[in-house]
Homo-oligomer: A and B are copies of this chain.
Amino acid sequence: MQDTPRGARLHIAIFGRRNAGKSSLINALTNQDIALVSDVPGTTTDPVYKAMEILPLGPVVIIDTAGIDDVGDLGALRVERTRQVLNKTDLAVLVIEPETGITAYEHELAADIRKRSIPIVAVAAKSDLVTPGQVTAAGWSAEIGEPVLPVSAKTGQGIEELKRAIIKNAPDNWEGPPVIGDLLNPGDTAVLVVPIDLAAPKGRLILPQVQTIRDILDHDAYSVVVKERELREALANLRGKPRIVVTDSQEFLKAAADTPDDVWLTSFSILFARYKGDLETLVAGAKAIDKLKPGDKVLIAEGCTHHRQADDIGRVKIPRWLRQTAGGELSFEWVSGGDFPRNLNSFNLIVHCGACMLNRREMLHRLSVARESGVPIVNYGVLIAYVHGILPRALAPFPSARLILDE
């Protein structure tokens, strides 16, 4: 059984001072059901992610911020790392150390979290050392502005209450739209064009393809999964027209030639641009490509440090297309992983990857930073569709994004 992808999990970050009991608390939370937990060590600058299930909420990922402690209690680096975690946090658990109680540190954390409209669940850890009465007596709930749950990682006391509080406080809009299901009626056929190239690992499909097939099943429709070469044949073998054809961006022109004009045709990248972020903002960003002039500055941001191929999309292909459009040399900067500059003012365009390793919250955060800086932002999928002239057709299922394109 394969795991739910991290990006599709509610992100719960555990904050608190060093030795507040964060790690024991995470162990108590996740060891409830060891079979459903997996450790995914991040890079050296990343926190550790623990995947687990909290029913009926579903798959979540617990972000262990203990790594931030190693940076020390003060300083710009700690602030920066906390900020990076907050950018992807859907719900924050604030752990209070009972002997220290609530200090300026906890107040600042809570303020930082609230500033981003992230719901907070506050706990007093190591509650085997204090009684619930003491927690109340300490007036922490009033002071921090949240009910403080006494929790003992040691005895397990309060862990179930903590889970219930997480379920109750989880934001209900964290998931965004379905991948494709809202475009389909029950019983509809969706045709998925999946080229098999050398980069596709043996025996696998890439994650967006799997998520799309699954979402179609979840919405009582079904899919025809076909390579570009057999698309025409597969369409001819259907008695009814499919509701939609979704293709890998690389094969858009081939798919367009084989798909009747009155059938929706879009790309996996467009579907995921909407699923992960905000299609309207990205389409507006695409239109800014035409305004690029020689000498302009372009930021290319990737969510992960993947293995680069010879004709890497972010390093080679996109710079080439943009240079051609601008009619001259451009100045490129690249960032990857958790890095995303706070100051974007010097850029004329931001091009972001498909964000398969980021959650929706982090992608929305990056989009809003770009909007606030007044810098247009587009992603790989929307950019590819735009520079190949296929964006108008690919946006047919999404009228509000199409309107922005036509404006």
Which of A133-141, A215-223, A375-383 contacts the other chain?
Answer: A215-223
Q: Does A58 contact B (CB under 8 A)?
A: yes
- State how many angstroms separate the Cβ of A306 from the closest Cβ of chain B: 6
Evaluate contact between A59 and B201: CB separation under 8 angstroms. yes
Find chain B residues with CB under 8 A from A189 CB. Answer: 234, 237
Find chain B residues with CB under 8 A from A224 CB. Answer: 222-225
Evaluate contact between B203 and A8: CB separation under 8 angstroms. yes
Instruction: From B200, B207, B213, B220, give the contact of A225 (CB < 8 A).
Output: B213
Number of copies: 2
Find chain B residues with CB under 8 A from A206 CB. Answer: 1-2
Evaluate contact between A223 and B225: CB separation under 8 angstroms. yes
Q: A residues 192-219 with Cβ under 8 Å of B?
A: 194, 196, 199-207, 210-211, 213-218
Q: Which residue of B lies closest to A227 (CB)?
A: B217
Evaluate contact between A210 and B204: CB separation under 8 angstroms. yes
- State how many angstroms separate the Cβ of A31 from the closest Cβ of chain B: 13
Q: A residues 298-341 with Cβ under 8 Å of B?
A: 305-308
Q: How far is the CA of A215 from the CA of B215 in the complex (A)?
A: 21
Find chain B residues with CB under 8 A from A308 CB. Answer: 35
Evaluate contact between A237 and B239: CB separation under 8 angstroms. yes
Q: How far is the CA of A218 from the CA of B305 in the complex (A)?
A: 28
Q: Given A1-B201, A213-B225, A238-B238, 7 more contacts at CB 8 Å?
A: A2-B201, A3-B204, A204-B210, A220-B230, A222-B224, A222-B234, A239-B239
